[in-house]
Amino acid sequence: MLSRRLVILALCLLLLVAIVHGTLGFGCYLVNEHRRLVWWEIIVLWTGDLISLGWFLRFVTRSDPSYDPSQTRRLPGRGLPRTAWLMLLSLTLGLIAELGMSLLVRHSEFKAFERAVPGAMTVTAVTPTGGGRGLFWKLDGQYADTVGVIHTTTFYVRDRDHLNRLPGEVKRRIRRGQAPLQLPIVFDPQRPGRSWIPQLGWDEGNRLHYLSLAVLFYQFMFALCFFYALYASIRNQRRIPWWAELHTVLPLAAEAFIFAMFGAIELYAVHRLCP
């Protein structure tokens, strides 16, 4: 017998590992990215995560206290459980919402870069991250907008192809790790929390909407593989297997696994985003 309590305990342990590694590996990156967004963009970009949490809470709050493989139900047909289709539908809607928001934010960033005004960022810390051909320079600092409000931001500059585009003196000081220094930037006058290094353009591949969409894509692929295996089992045995109910915790478990794995890679191997 596989008890519901054991499944919940295992998933909570996975979530704990994901939170620790995600916070240590991506925490400063996530804080910096959320400064660029307004509240409703943040909600839509986390739609998939809210859906995953909802399915997990459904599993936890159900009244049946345990699974029992001997109590599997026979099916009159060969279809998947209704909740399986509802989950696939919810994940599809989450994917569509996040894809739409990613495209909207991407277009918004492009338009904001076109109207951006010059500014100067005081870089207070220069930190080399990564290594070899993957060397980055993490630039932490602050800048003032047109009304004097101070904004904090972080830029990641690739040594291989980005650093050489910067002004000569700035480039030399960064390579020497000398701070403070003045870095010419541009920022959006309508939403001054968004800023760019003009020589590097507007489209930053590390933006949060790309990460959010990637996580939801992996969740969707995990779900498709799980449901294919479930459908094959039901078709062959005309019976719902004991592990079918785990589909309600699959999205959150998949996301926790992704954050735990990539957080561990970032934390123990790459050391790029939050050294």
pLDDT for the residue numbered 11: 75
Q: According to the model, what pLDDT value does residue 155 have? A: 92
Give the model confidence (pLDDT) of 196-231 as tens digits.
999 998 887 778 777 777 777 787 788 888 888 888
For residue range 14-51, list pLDDT tens digits in order. 778 888 887 888 888 888 888 888 889 888 888 877 88
Tokens of 105: 């934010």
pLDDT at 105: 87
Indicate the average pLDDT of the chain.
81
User: For residue 2, what pLDDT band results from cuts at 50, 70 and 90?
Assistant: low
| Amino acid identity at 113 | F
pLDDT band per the 50, 70, 90 thresholds, residue 76: very low
Segments making up each domain of the chain, as ranges = 4-110+208-270, 117-187
pLDDT band with cut points at 50, 70 and 90 for residue 174? very high
More confident residue, 176 or 236: 176
Q: Pseudo-torsion of CA 74, 76, 80, 85, nearest 10°?
A: -130
Taking the C-alpha atoms of residue 61 and residue 69, their distance in angstroms, rounded to an integer, is 20
pLDDT tens digit sequence for 159-169: 888 888 998 89
Q: Per-residue pLDDT for 245 more than 80? A: no
pLDDT confidence bin for 136, thresholds 50/70/90: confident
* 45-48 long-range Cβ contacts below 8 angstroms, 24+ apart: 45/98, 45/101, 45/102, 45/105, 45/208, 45/209, 45/212, 46/212, 47/94, 47/97, 47/98, 47/101, 48/91, 48/94, 48/95, 48/97, 48/98, 48/212, 48/215, 48/216, 48/219, 48/251, 48/255
Q: Which residue has the higher pLDDT, 126 or 11?
A: 126
Q: Report the pLDDT value the prediction gives residue 1, as an integer from 0 to 100.
A: 47
Give the C-alpha separation, 213 to 95, whole Å: 7
Asked if residue 144 has pLDDT above 70, the reply is yes
> Would you say residue 71 has pLDDT above 80?
no
Read off the pLDDT band of 121 (50, 70, 90): very high
pLDDT of residue 31: 86
CA distance 202 to 113: 6
Higher-scoring residue by pLDDT: 265, 109: 109
What pLDDT does 134 receive?
A: 65
Residues of the chain with pLDDT > 90, as a percent, come to 22
**Per-residue confidence band for 81, with pLDDT thresholds at 50, 70 and 90:** low
